[in-house]
Amino acid sequence: MTASTPKGERRRHALIEAAAGLLDEGGFDAVGHRAVAERAGLPLAATTYYFRSLDELVAAAVEHHARAELGRGWARLAELAVQPQDDESAVELVLDALIGPATAGAEQVVLRYERFVVAARRPWLGPVMRELRTELDALLMGALSQAGHPVEADELERLVAVVDGAVVNALIEAAPDPRAAGRRMLLRSL
């Protein structure tokens, strides 16, 4: 709720980072007041002092985590701009933005997709997810354009749906590498 001092800002940020880490490691079920406070090294009361509710804390953690990912994506896109055009680099950037880093295991991919699905059941998360999705779409369009595959919004929507569908199917089938399924479908669709 309040963080008007530098100490308050640091504490609030520590809580957000702790919640984002828990969310990344264990999904929404892992984020609770006590777990967040313990991870942040702060008193339990800090979670309710700086956030009106657990929902508000989770939304801040989701946004923090996604903005960090978007920041890494934009930095990679800037690096690609000064390098020779490379379809593979752009494809990897798109996959990183949609699925997560190549080092992510299947469980982390599941947790990532869980964030999207849960937004439908938690209305307070919807506005944050929609705003982040708009920013993600801009990153994806930039990566594809730079690779020589410019797309309009409706074409991007189709590409994302194809990749998401391939990844979800790979997860259902317990495929060892859901990213490979997403890559295969993305390359077929370009």
Instruction: Tell me what pLDDT residue 114 has.
Output: 86
Residue in the block written with tokens 């798109």? 94
Closest CA to 92 of 189, 171, 186: 186
Average pLDDT estimate for 53-65: 94
Model pLDDT for residues 126-182, shown as the tens digit of each residue: 899 899 999 999 999 998 998 888 999 999 999 999 999 999 999 999 888 899 999
Residue 39 carries which side chain, given as an amino acid letter?
A: R
**One-letter amino acid of 42:** L
- Any idea what DSSP says for residue 123? G
* Residue of 20, 129, 131 lying closest to 65 (CA atoms): 20
In this prediction, residue 108 has a pLDDT band, given cuts at 50, 70 and 90, of confident
What are the structure tokens assigned to 134, written together?
């708009």
Tell me the helices (H) and strands (E) count for the chain, helix number first: 9, 0
